[in-house]
């Protein structure tokens, strides 16, 4: 399997090369030359556990890794040390709809699904490409990527990780996680700006020739753990197959079309669902759920993509995104003609038109609808969902096809957002402290606070640097 840039450079790369490089030299994203056809049926796959599923899927894409290397990466990622659920990504069923819980990893968010394996892909890829340089993992985060990438890369040999987060754009708990992160190779820096500003600057730094030359002099080079890395995209395809085959195992007929509702930010998760569909998984609609930053909803409604609009901070911060990076891969796969023109529009925040593919439908939830969804699901099923999952639930209701089999992709544990979740259930929690609310949430649901959060509020703060957007470059230089 060869990989190419979305921006038209005709150079072919191996999977290992794309994992190390992260982003293409022309600023594009790497895409596989074709989407492979799944070699097994859902019924055959229903006998697989998560790890055999993962190995099977990854082998379709990382054809330059041998079987033993893939198995080793998979087992280093998906194990009891990193995940608290025995089958990694379990389904939670309610009478109408099933929730695919992707939040049983170290940082309780779906980013762990890919970021627990990416560092192992990268180590293997560095060996395969005989690359002796220290990899500087440079990342802008709207919250979850940062925490999860830090956990994944901490103390991984041959890497240093630098995470930039919008100072006021992440939750109290996410911030606490990041600024207390241990590990000899980790650096966390706050940014005065929003996520899109930080992400744009990170993209610019990646391509800055002078900065890259300085890195080289120091035996370093940039790499990315952001959702544009092929090493993150591919592992996200696994759980669509796994979820589907779990439904088959539970008695669903093998070819039943299933909808997946995906709370969407950078368009990585839902794009993996699209790839799963193109591989042959019987997915009906991919329901793209947005919060009030509804640039994707507007596109799926009108066929016009336009990110020039005011930015909203919402209770689902990982979806507060106006320029969804992975959308470029969809543009690439849908337009054979003037791709470049559209992509330029995407990166320069201008608008363009593109016929809407029938595989998708978009809905969005306001803040009030998000809170109402949390309250409703808890009231009806005693099941607490986080604000991102609640946006997806609200989208599911707006889609209004209760007769169709549907899976809601649940991307974070409610424990990550205690204030929003608890005050949605009952206004009396509104003025409680986030950390006290963790205990109250456990009481309400008769569970324990997840071990990942124990003692978080008393950990020493190790990272307190905050910079403006144009100081990010010097912060990087200081660190290397």
Ligand X SMILES: *Cc1c(COP(=O)(O)O)cnc(C)c1O
Closest separation in Å from C-beta 464 to ligand X: 24
> Does position 199 bind ligand X by CB under 6 A?
no
Q: How far is the CB of 252 from ligand X (least distance, A)?
A: 26
Q: Is 128 in the site for ligand X (CB under 6 A)?
A: no
Contact 25, 13 (CB under 8 A): no
Which helix (H) or strand (E) element contains residue 83? none
Nearer to ligand X, 123 or 326 (CB): 326
Per CB under 6 A, 193 contacts ligand X: no
- Please report how close the Cβ of residue 386 comes to ligand X at its closest, in angstroms: 7
- Which of positions 39-98 make contact with ligand X (CB under 6 A)? none
* Farthest-apart Cα atoms in the chain, separation: 61
Question: Nearest approach, Cβ of 108 to ligand X (angstroms)?
Answer: 9
Q: Which is nearer to ligand X, 126 or 289 (CB)?
A: 289
- Site string (354-393) toward ligand X, x via CB under 6 A: ----------------------------------x-----
Per CB under 6 A, does 411 bind ligand X? yes
- Confirm or reject binding of residue 410 to ligand X (CB under 6 A): no
On the 0-12 / 13-18 / 19+ scale of CB atoms within 10 A, 377 is buried
Handedness of CA 58, 346, 386, 415 (dihedral sign): positive
User: Closer CB to ligand X, residue 72 or residue 356?
Assistant: 356
Q: Does 230 bind ligand X (CB under 6 A)?
A: no
Kindly state whether residue 290 participates in binding ligand X, applying the rule CB under 6 A.
Answer: no
Q: Measured from the CB atom, is 108 or 191 closer to ligand X?
A: 108
Residue with Cβ nearer ligand X (20 or 108): 108
CB of 474 to ligand X, least distance (A): 28
* Whether the Cβ atoms of residue 291 and residue 318 lie closer than 8 Å to each other: no
Which residue in the block uniquely carries the two structure tokens 């241990």? 182
265: contact with ligand X by CB under 6 A = yes
181 versus 269: smaller Cβ distance to ligand X: 269
CB of 11 to ligand X, least distance (A): 27
- Min dist CB 127 to ligand X, Å, is 28
Which two structure tokens, joined as six digits, stand for 437?
Answer: 């609310």
Name the residue nearer to ligand X (CB basis): 46 or 145.
145
Decide if 50 contacts 242 (C-beta within 8 A). yes
> Using an 8 Å Cβ cutoff, are 344 and 8 in contact?
no
Stretch that binds ligand X, among 42-50, 104-112, 304-312, 369-377 (CB under 6 A): 104-112
Q: Is 288 in the site for ligand X (CB under 6 A)?
A: no
CA distance 169 to 312: 10
Handedness of CA 137, 138, 144, 150 (dihedral sign): positive
461-479 burial string, b = 16+ CB within 10 Å, else e? eebeeebebebbbebbeee
Q: How far apart are CA 427 and CA 433, in angstroms?
A: 14
DSSP label at 313?
-
Sheet holding 220-223, edge to edge: 220-223, 134-140, 159-166, 186-192, 465-468
Rule CB under 6 A: say whether 307 interacts with ligand X: no
| Contact pattern for ligand X over residues 315 through 354, marking x by CB under 6 A | ---xx-----------------------------------
Contact between 7 and 28 under an 8 Å Cβ cutoff? The reply is: yes
Q: In 290-314, which positions are buried (b, 16+ CB within 10 angstroms) versus exposed (e)?
A: bbbbbbbbbbbeeeebbbeeebeeb
Stretch that binds ligand X, among 106-114, 337-345, 367-375, 396-404 (CB under 6 A): 106-114
Instruction: Give me the least distance between CB of 266 and ligand X, in Å please.
Output: 3
| CB closer to ligand X, 42 vs 146 | 146
Dihedral Cα 205, 211, 215, 216, nearest 10 deg? 120
Which chain residues interact with ligand X by CB under 6 A?
Answer: 109-111, 144, 227, 263-269, 318-319, 388, 411-412
């Amino acid at each position: 399997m060869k990989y190419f840039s979305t921006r038209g450079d005709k150079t072919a790369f191996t999977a290992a090369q794309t994992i190390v490089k992260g982003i293409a030299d022309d600023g594009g994203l790497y895409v596989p030359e074709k989407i492979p056809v799944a070699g097994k049926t859902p019924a055959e796959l229903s006998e697989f556990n998560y790890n055999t599923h993962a190995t099977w899927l990854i082998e379709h894409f990382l054809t330059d890794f041998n079987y033993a290397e893939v198995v080793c990466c998979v087992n280093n990622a998906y194990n009891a040390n990193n995940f608290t659920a025995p089958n990694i990504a379990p389904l939670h069923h309610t009478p109408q709809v099933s929730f695919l819980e992707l939040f049983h990893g170290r940082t309780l968010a779906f980013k762990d699904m890919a970021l627990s394996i990416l560092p192992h892909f990268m180590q293997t890829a560095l060996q395969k490409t005989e690359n002796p340089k220290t990899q500087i993992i440079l990342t802008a985060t709207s919250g979850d990527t940062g925490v999860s990438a830090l956990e994944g890369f901490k103390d991984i040999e041959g890497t240093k990780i630098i995470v930039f987060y919008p100072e006021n754009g992440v939750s109290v708990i996410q911030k606490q996680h990041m600024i207390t992160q241990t590990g000899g190779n980790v650096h966390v820096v706050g940014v005065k700006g929003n996520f899109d500003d930080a992400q744009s600057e990170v993209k610019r730094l990646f391509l800055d020739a002078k900065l890259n030359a300085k890195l080289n002099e120091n035996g370093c080079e940039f790499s990315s753990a952001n959702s544009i890395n092929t090493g993150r995209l591919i592992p996200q395809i696994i759980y669509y197959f796994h979820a589907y085959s779990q439904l088959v195992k539970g008695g669903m007929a093998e070819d039943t079309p299933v909808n997946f509702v995906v709370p969407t930010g950078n368009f990585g998760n839902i794009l993996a669902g699209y790839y799963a569909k193109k591989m042959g998984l019987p997915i009906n609609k991919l329901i793209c759920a947005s919060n009030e930053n509804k640039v994707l909803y507007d596109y799926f409604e009108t066929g016009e993509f336009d990110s020039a609009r005011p930015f909203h901070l919402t209770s689902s911060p990982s979806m507060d995104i106006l320029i969804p990076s992975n959308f470029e891969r969809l543009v690439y796969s849908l337009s054979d003609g003037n791709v470049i023109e559209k992509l330029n529009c995407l990166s320069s925040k201008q608008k363009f038109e593109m016929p809407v593919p029938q595989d998708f439908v978009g809905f969005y939830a306001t803040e009030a609808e998000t809170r109402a969804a949390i309250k409703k699901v808890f009231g009806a099923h005693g099941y607490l969902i986080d604000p991102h999952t609640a946006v997806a639930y609200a989208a599911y209701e707006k889609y209004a096809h209760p007769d169709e089999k549907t899976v809601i992709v649940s991307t974070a544990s409610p424990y990550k957002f205690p204030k929003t979740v608890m005050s949605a259930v009952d206004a009396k929690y509104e003025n409680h402290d986030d950390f006290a609310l963790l205990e109250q949430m456990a009481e309400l649901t008769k569970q324990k606070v997840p071990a990942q959060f124990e003692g978080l509020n008393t950990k020493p703060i190790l990272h307190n640097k905050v910079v403006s957007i144009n100081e990010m470059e010097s912060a990087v230089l200081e660190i290397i």
